[in-house]
């Protein structure tokens, strides 16, 4: 990600070299400028249509009474902040906010720690390390809906392989998806499993960018093992870490498929998050205004993290 | 992430165009012969149909019936399109905003009134179609503000299926009362086998499965905080609490419940006749009884299921008339009977249902249940979805021990 950004800025900087003011040159210059603009047009169009329009539409929709009827009549009366008041004043709202926070923090911490450990592990060269590393990417390749269906079978209370294994080891079966106290933990575990490849890949490539000389020099000064990690690896990896964490937060906040596939927000709303509630309002209950209000709340939260991310990366570039 | 379809044009424009179309058509003159392809031609070449019968044999059976009906009403081609059940309404909304609604639309019966309320459906009365001779349930479900919007060729409901082999081996009789249901279920719970399985998911399916105990006990959807409803919640809770039903029922769809039954992991289940093809194929020796009553003197009441054919307001008057003919054809006595024999549904015309009962005595339990089955939208109309949400939320609160049966529904109403 950061490399791509650097490449992009590099490309922008170079073509501004001045050209001579003769007639043909000027015409060529003009043609070049047009070409440049033409190259940007599709991207700009895509951004406006694919990002700008839905965001604006979502915003206006959240202030409207937008229901099934609207699709047929085109009538969506303005209702001010009623939709926001409705969704926030519900008993369920506090619970979904807490669940969203727990789910996000739990997933990120788990994914990051395990991803980091695996990245460090694979950074050392040993036979078959490439094959093994590729195997760890598998969760990334499996369609989410398939992944969640498989996990639903694994976590089934009566016949799930996990409980069968626990029972043969002499433990009591765990009500993974049927107890409101456990279900949130279960979906966090599954989401950690899904997020490991992303963390592993980015952190691993970050590790490879750290020059070996630093470690050699550090070793001469007696910095090995943990000391090498804290004094060499961690500071050099900071830029990648901040990218991984920020993107992780934004991705995790909006996770929907896993939760719908595993618990559908249940049991008794124990795994309901802002994202699942937004989906539920819009596409199950067809209260599009309320659904839009919830997803706007989610956008604002994501935006807060994005701003923090931009500030952090800008500071790093300045350094 | 949440993107909504834009409303492209106002429906009014469509309606205005619709009003103009016949004039243009009339000006062209109707007897232009076989000039297919030209928009001005008076004959209807093709009709598009949308439903959610994606799986075979249902998809091909319905497809055959549609094209036969098409031929009989003089339409050359019937384009049959199926989308998965949960996405049907979304698809219809997309089509409504892009003015591409099908000529004939199948709707699940509890959705009819909600869609009719938007003005997207044409009242069938306009085409001289009525529902005389139909069972009261299907009629009520398709009627909105005194007008009929759909005709349902077949209906279904849910009853108790029991595995005859397992019950006879354990010397257990199919239950007639809640007490018998509880004791039978307990007796049949051995090792990895549960006595009873049902579906209690946090969605409309879970709410639908709660209706037999609720309605049979005299509970009513207009007031969910009555003792009758609380007793029904207690029944579900008792079955799960004493281990006669798996705690996983809160995650089991009706298909999952059927899988458990087929695998011999449940001796009895609450399910519908659409499972019969699978049960027969797997050679399960099963019987059915209506949902048991709580106290003597009560009658078993189950919810009405099944789908109706409707005519959307596409604006093309001529096509809409042909579409109405197609709906009518799908509901002839012969087609109702054919559909019943193919697909595990019961004819909705009382006379045809009686005939079906004589031809297939094994389906008698279902025929009787459908005759008295109650439509979910019968009392609440388009307000049903909100109530269903309260029902399934309350049910989940009780089954997970978050609320007592007496206050679960009130808690669910507050957004539990």
Question: pLDDT (tens digit, 9 = 90+) per residue, B72-115?
Answer: 999 999 999 999 988 999 999 999 988 899 999 999 999 999 99
Q: What is the pLDDT of residue A5?
A: 44
pLDDT computed for residue B175 by the predictor: 96
> pTM of the entire structure?
0.83
Q: Quick one: closest CA in B to A87, which residue?
A: B415
* CA distance to B67, B337, B345, per residue, from A22 (Å): 73, 87, 84
Are the Cβ atoms of A68 and B114 closer than 8 angstroms?
yes
Are B251 and A152 a contacting pair at CB < 8 A? Answer: yes
| Chain-chain contact of A72 with B96 (C-beta, under 8 angstroms) | yes
Task: Write out the H or E segment, with its range, that includes residue A102.
Answer: helix A91-123
pLDDT of residue A314: 74
Of B171, B100, B159, B9, the C-alpha closest to B319 is B100
> Cα separation of B289 and B283, whole Å?
19
Based on its alpha-carbon atoms, the radius of gyration of chain B, rounded to whole angstroms, reads: 23
User: Residue B268: enclosing H or E segment and its boundaries?
Assistant: strand B266-271
Q: Which residues of A touch B96 (CB under 8 A)?
A: 71-72
Residue B209 falls in which region: left (phi positive, over 0), alpha (psi -120 to 50) or beta: alpha
Chain centroid offset of residue A120 CA: 22
Contact between chains at B415 and A175 (C-beta distance less than 8 A): no
Residue A95 contacts B where some CB pair is shorter than 8 Å: no
Query: Which of A71, A182, A259, A274 is the best mutation test for B, with the most CBs of B within 10 A?
Result: A71
From chain A, pick out residues whose CB is under 8 angstroms from the CB of B389: 285
Q: Which residues pair with B287 in a beta bridge?
A: B162
Residue B127 contacts A, CB cutoff 8 Å: no
Interface check B387 vs A, CB under 8 A? no
pLDDT tens for residues B359-387? 988 888 889 888 889 999 999 998 999 99
Contact A68 B1 (CB under 8 A): no
For A212-259, what is the HEC assignment? HHHHHHHHHCCCCHHHHHHHHHHHHHHHHHHHHHHHHHHHHHCCCHHH
The H or E element spanning position A307 is: helix A288-318
How far, in Å, CA of A125 to CA of A122, rounded?
Answer: 7
Which of these, B285, B14, B46, lies nearest to B161 by C-alpha position?
A: B285
Label residue B358 by pLDDT band (50, 70, 90).
Answer: very high
Interface check B191 vs A, CB under 8 A: no
Query: What are residue B163's DSSP bridge partners?
Result: B286
Q: Cα separation of B151 and B330, whole Å?
A: 9
* Half-sphere exposure in the Cβ direction for B210 (13 Å, CA): 37
Contact A268 B399 (CB under 8 A): yes
Q: Which residues of A touch B415 (CB under 8 A)?
A: 90-93
A-chain CB neighbours of B117 within 8 Å are 68-69
Please tell me if residue B172 touches chain A, with a CB cutoff of 8 Å. Answer: no
Distance from CA of A79 to the nearest CA of B (A): 18
Per-residue pLDDT at B32 exceeds 70: no
Q: What is the DSSP letter of A51?
A: I
Report CB contact under 8 Å: A268, B202.
yes
Give chain A's residues under pLDDT 50: 1-20
Of B1, B93, B386, the CB nearest to A295: B1
* Local structure of B40: helix, strand or coil: coil
Question: CA–CA distance from B240 to each of A252, B94, B198, B243 (Å)?
Answer: 34, 41, 10, 5
Q: How far is CA B113 from CA B14, B26, B119, B173, B347, in A?
A: 21, 34, 10, 40, 21
Whether A269 sits inside 8 A of B90 (CB atoms) is no
User: For B119, which residue in chain A has the nearest alpha carbon?
Assistant: A72
pLDDT tens-digit map of B42-75: 578 899 999 999 987 889 999 999 999 999 999 9
Percent helix, strand, coil in chain B, to 5, is 50, 15, 35
Whether A266 and B250 lie within 8 Å, measured CB to CB: yes
What is the rounded distance in angstroms from the CA atom of residue B255 to the CA atom of residue B267?
A: 15
> What gap in Å lies between CA B318 and CA B25, rounded to an integer?
9
Q: Region B329-350: what's the mean pLDDT?
A: 92
């Amino acid at each position: 990600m950061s490399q791509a950004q650097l490449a992009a800025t590099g490309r922008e900087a170079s073509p501004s070299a001045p050209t001579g003011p003769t007639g043909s040159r000027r015409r060529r210059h003009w043609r070049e400028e047009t070409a440049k603009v033409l190259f940007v047009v599709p991207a700009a169009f895509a951004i406006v249509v694919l990002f700008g329009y839905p965001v604006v539409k979502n915003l206006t929709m959240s202030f409207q009474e937008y229901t099934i009827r609207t699709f047929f009549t085109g009538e969506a009366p303005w209702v001010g902040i009623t939709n926001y008041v409705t969704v926030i004043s519900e008993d369920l709202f506090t619970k979904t906010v807490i669940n969203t926070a727990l789910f996000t923090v739990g997933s990120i911490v788990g994914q990051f720690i395990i991803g980091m450990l695996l990245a460090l592990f694979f950074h050392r060269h040993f036979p078959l390390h490439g094959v093994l590393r590729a195997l760890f990417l598998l969760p990334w390749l499996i369609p989410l809906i398939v992944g969640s269906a498989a996990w639903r079978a694994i976590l089934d209370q009566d016949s799930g392989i996990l409980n069968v294994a626990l029972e043969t080891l002499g433990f009591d079966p765990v009500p993974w998806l049927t107890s409101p106290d456990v279900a949130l933990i279960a979906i966090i575990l599954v989401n950690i499993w899904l997020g490991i490849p992303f963390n592993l890949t980015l952190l691993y490539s970050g590790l490879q960018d750290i020059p070996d000389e630093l470690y050699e020099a550090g070793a001469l000064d007696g910095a090995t093992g943990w000391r090498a990690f804290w004094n060499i690896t961690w500071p050099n990896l900071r830029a990648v870490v901040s990218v991984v964490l920020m993107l992780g937060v934004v991705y995790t906040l909006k996770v929907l498929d896993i939760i719908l596939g595993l618990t559908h927000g249940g049991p008794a709303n124990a795994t309901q998050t802002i994202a699942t509630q937004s989906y539920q309002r819009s596409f199950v209950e067809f209260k599009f205004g309320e659904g839009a209000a919830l997803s706007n709340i989610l956008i604002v939260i994501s935006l807060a993290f994005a701003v923090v991310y931009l500030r952090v990366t800008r500071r790093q570039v300045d350094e | 992430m949440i993107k909504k379809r834009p409303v492209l044009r106002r429906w009014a424009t469509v309606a205005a165009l619709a009003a103009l179309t016949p004039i243009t058509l009339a000006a062209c003159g109707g007897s232009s012969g076989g000039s297919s392809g030209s928009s001005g031609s008076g004959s209807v070449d093709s009709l598009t149909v949308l439903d959610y019968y994606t799986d075979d044999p249902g998809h091909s059976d319905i497809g055959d019936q549609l094209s036969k009906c098409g031929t009989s009403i003089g339409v050359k081609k019937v384009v049959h399109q199926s989308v998965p059940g949960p996405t049907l309404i979304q698809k219809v909304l997309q089509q409504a905003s892009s003015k591409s609604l099908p000529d004939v639309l199948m709707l699940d019966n509890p959705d009819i009134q909600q869609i009719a309320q938007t003005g997207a459906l044409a009242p069938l009365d306009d085409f001289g179609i009525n529902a005389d001779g139909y069972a009261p349930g299907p009629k009520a479900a398709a009627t909105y503000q005194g007008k009929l919007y759909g005709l349902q060729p077949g209906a279904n409901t849910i009853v108790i299926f029991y595995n005859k082999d397992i019950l006879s081996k354990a010397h257990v009789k199919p239950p007639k009362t809640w007490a018998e249901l509880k004791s039978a279920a307990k007796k049949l719970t051995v090792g990895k086998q549960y006595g009873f399985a049902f579906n209690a998911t946090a969605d409309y399916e879970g709410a639908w499965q709660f209706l037999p105990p609720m309605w049979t006990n005299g509970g009513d959807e207009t007031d969910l905080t009555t003792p009758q409803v609380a007793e029904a919640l207690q029944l579900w809770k008792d079955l799960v609490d004493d281990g006669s039903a798996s705690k996983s029922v809160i995650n089991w769809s009706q298909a999952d419940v059927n899988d458990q039954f087929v695998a011999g992991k449940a001796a009895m289940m609450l399910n519908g006749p659409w499972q019969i093809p699978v049960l027969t194929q797997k050679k399960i020796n099963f019987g059915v009884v209506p949902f048991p009553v709580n106290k003597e003197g009560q009658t078993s009441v189950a919810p009405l299921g099944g789908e109706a054919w409707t005519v959307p307001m596409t604006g093309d008057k001529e096509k809409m008339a042909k579409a109405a003919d197609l709906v009518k054809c799908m509901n002839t006595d012969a087609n109702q009977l054919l559909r019943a024999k193919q697909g595990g549904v019961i004819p909705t015309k009382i006379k045809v249902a009686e005939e079906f009962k004589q031809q297939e005595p094994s389906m008698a339990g279902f025929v009787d249940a459908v005759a008295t089955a109650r439509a979910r939208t019968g009392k609440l109309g388009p307000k049903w979805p909100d109530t269903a949400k309260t029902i399934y939320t309350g049910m989940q609160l009780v089954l997970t021990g978050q609320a007592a049966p007496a206050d679960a529904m009130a808690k669910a109403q507050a957004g539990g």
